[in-house]
Amino acid sequence: MIEFQHVFKSYGRGRNILADINFRIEPGEFVFVSGPSGAGKSTLLKLIGGLEPPSRGTVHVNGHRIDKMPARARPYLRRAVGVILQDTHLLYDRNAINNVLLPLAVAGLETRLAGTRARAAMEKVGLSGKEDLNPVEMSGGEQQRLAIARAIVNRPAILIADEPTANLDQESARRIMEVFRDFNRVGVTTLIASHDGALMAAYASRTLRIDAGRFTDIPGVKS
């Protein structure tokens, strides 16, 4: 479950990037966040992932209130929410499987179990056999899928992705969306920011539209 109540966000003393945002997403939903460039989509996702705090308002994620979460509680959020940002933040000083292993090492998982889980995550996104490649040796679509493997390896309840198909050809975009759909089918709540109308028409069950930091449809009403 993700719930925003009267959420405002500004960076520093700047203008409101988000203004009085209210919505609720139930467990297992597949939701798109759409809107023009600069509307505040990435900011919304960062608030859900705990990467940015709101300026005002309350944010609940997976049954926990996170807007006032102390720093020591953040590791919980890291496990509950898998985050895929526009810049994949892959590490190019290590091979693919070691990128996927990173969250498990942070979580303190035993080495052998971590290896098994990381290989399973790579298999789920169709990257079996590419474990030893450096991310620079992978295509854009493969790098996106590697970022997804890293996001799902801790088995999060929620997956959020920021424009995961931007700059990809149609076939790669379709494969990425199928990966998200598969996770959603086994109960993972999925939230994807996109301004690709065709993609949303093909996959969305619900779309939250945002413009200039405000929702342009009626909050809570499924579209």
Q: b/e map of 111-133 (b: 16 or more CB within 10 Å)?
A: eeebbebbbebbebbbbeebbee
Minimum distance of ligand ATP from residue 72's CB (angstroms):
24
140, 163 contact by CB (below 8 A): no
Minimum distance of ligand ATP from residue 52's CB (angstroms):
8
**Is 37 or 187 the residue whose CB approaches ligand ATP more closely?**
37
**Is 38 or 140 the residue whose CB approaches ligand ATP more closely?**
38
Tell me whether residue 21 is exposed, middle or buried, using C-beta atoms within 10 angstroms of its C-beta: 0 to 12, 13 to 18, 19 or more.
buried
Minimum distance of ligand ATP from residue 41's CB (angstroms):
4
For every residue of 159-178, DSSP letters joined together read EEEESTTTT--HHHHHHHHH
Q: Where are the beta strands (DSSP E) in 15-95?
A: 16-25, 30-34, 56-61, 64-65, 81-84
**Two structure tokens written together for 38:** 């600069």
Tell me whether residue 46 is exposed, middle or buried, using C-beta atoms within 10 angstroms of its C-beta: 0 to 12, 13 to 18, 19 or more.
middle
**Is 34 or 189 the residue whose CB approaches ligand ATP more closely?**
34
**Is 41 or 145 the residue whose CB approaches ligand ATP more closely?**
41
**Is 96 or 191 the residue whose CB approaches ligand ATP more closely?**
191
Minimum distance of ligand ATP from residue 11's CB (angstroms):
3
Residues, the chain, total? 223
Minimum distance of ligand ATP from residue 157's CB (angstroms):
23
Q: Which residues bind ligand ATP (CB under 6 A)?
A: 11, 14, 17, 35, 37-43, 195
